[in-house]
Structure 1
Amino acid sequence: MTFDVVGTLIDFEGGLKACLAEIAAETGIEIDGERALSLYREARYSGDADLFPDDLVRVYLTIAPTLGLPADRKYGERLRDSAKNWKGFADSTAALASLAKNYRLVAMTNARRWAFAFFEKELGNPFYAAFTADDTGTEKPDPAFFETVFAYIASEGHSKNDILHVAQSQHHDIGISRKLGLTNCWIERRHDQKGYGGTIEPAEFTTPDYHFTSMAGLSAAVAAARA
């Protein structure tokens, strides 16, 4: 099983909103978390974006004036460094531990390796292998990211036909995984919220092979199927 990490297993939206709220409180103002995510999404996916989460420094300086926050680089660096403390979704660790008993779990993240080290520890170190933006030299949905992983899977004696790709982002993962012929599973983390939050909206919706609103749902379905 291959997994997107940020947004699927790690609650990056909660982490971003919490850090921005702290900065706002210290400067005597309040911000709307969903509006902040919308502004983040627009800023994050600009043409001059850097690798994640280093790019959060630039993003903060871009969105701070609109939110009424101080446009000071130290706060941008604070937002970037908050990634070290982002939490996994409540069901992530247990679900991964259960799945790891019978499957090799491979992480595929657009985050840089330094940030992934914190995410992996937060999740209980469940991965057999991991690929980051530093390892692939690109970001999903670039097919080249997936091709790097396919080459690794082949070196292990398997093929992409053996993969179940699990992710929450229609744009970064579900659409491209379908085009590349993978079986996929959409974890719809925002099923009870409007819009796409901090994740870019896909050009078109892709109906996944499997669809759950949580990792717990996937884990339970796998356990039932194996039984």
Structure 2
Amino acid sequence: MSKSLPEFKYMSFDIVGTLIDFEGGLTSCLNGIAAEAGVTIDGEEALSLYRAARYAEDADLFPDDLVRVYLAIAPKLGLPVDKAYGERLRDSAKKWKAFPDSAEAMARLARDYRLIAMTNARRWAFEHFSAELGNPFHAAFTADDTGAEKPDPAFFHQVFNFVSGEGASKDDILHVAQSQYHDIGVSRNLGMTNCWIERRHAQKGYGGTIEPAEFTKPDYHFTSMAGLAEAATAARS
């Protein structure tokens, strides 16, 4: 039986894809480039190509890697192959929007929990994401801080060490994320309680996120952050 929501002291969050609509941000920028070039692209095809390119062996940290990714996928989408457009895609991360329910949900949850950001993005990008969300975090761990990327357990262990310094343990954390591959599977393997935010519940496939080798049934499951916030409030009433 999973712990009840009021029993947790912390909630840790994946950021890109869970709270920030990175798929919308990517496709919006690519559509803008396509319009200027006089072509039309299919958003889901673009995300599929992105996914394949993003997880190449020579990948850089995110979102800096979007320059390389753009140059890899542009010919397949009929877009101009020019580094300047790749830089435009990378820099678009500064303007990516939160999902409509993210900021309000995080503000509600911050009243009762210490919120921890866990993102594979670099610190410069996270600062923009955090501002978009209303800066709700008690602590934040980025790829720059950890020297690792999820699903590497080393990333999670740095968070465990942090909460240990505050007199808590991983058992006091509910890990919240949309990515089965980056978060839900590894958090289960590490003995954490987790919550899957199924952002693509109305869409087929995994979009821009790599498909996991196997599906992990989460301890908690919602299709929105609003659902989690409402459940947390109800559990305390």
CA distance in structure 2 between the aligned counterparts of 1:43 and 1:138, rounded to whole angstroms: 19
2:61 corresponds to: 51
Deviation at 1:172, TM superposition (A): 0.0
Deviation at 1:93, TM superposition (A): 0.3
CA distance in structure 2 between the aligned counterparts of 1:158 and 1:165, rounded to whole angstroms: 15
Is it true that 1:127 corresponds to 2:137 in the alignment?
Answer: yes
- Give the TM-score normalised by structure 2: 0.96
Is it true that 1:185 corresponds to 2:195 in the alignment?
Answer: yes
Question: What are the residue-to-residue correspondences of 1:6-25 with 2, within 5 Å?
Answer: 6-25=16-35
Q: Residues 143-187 of structure 1: CA distance to partner in whole angstroms, max 9, x if unpaired?
A: 000001100010011000000000000000000000000000000
Is it true that 1:151 corresponds to 2:161 in the alignment?
Answer: yes
Q: Residues 4-38 of structure 1: CA distance to partner in whole angstroms, max 9, x if unpaired?
A: 00000000000000000000000000000000000
Question: What are the residue-to-residue correspondences of 1:37-186 with 2, within 5 Å?
Answer: 37-186=47-196
Q: What amino acid maps onto 2:82 in structure 1? A: D
2:3 corresponds to: none
Q: Residues 68-123 of structure 1: CA distance to partner in whole angstroms, max 9, x if unpaired?
A: 00110000000000000000000000000000001000000000000000000000
Deviation at 1:42, TM superposition (A): 0.2
Structure 2, unmatched stretches of 5+, are 1-10
Aligned residue among 38, 43, 57 for 1:33: 43
Q: What amino acid maps onto 1:181 in structure 2? A: G
CA distance in structure 1 between the aligned counterparts of 2:53 and 2:25, rounded to whole angstroms: 17
Deviation at 1:202, TM superposition (A): 0.2
2:6 corresponds to: none
> For 2:114, what is the secondary structure of its paired residue?
coil
CA distance in structure 1 between the aligned counterparts of 2:93 and 2:163, rounded to whole angstroms: 29
Moved over 3 A (4+): none
Q: Percent of aligned pairs with the same residue? A: 76
Question: Cα RMSD between the aligned structures?
Answer: 0.3
- Give the TM-score normalised by structure 1: 1.00
Is it true that 1:204 corresponds to 2:214 in the alignment?
Answer: yes
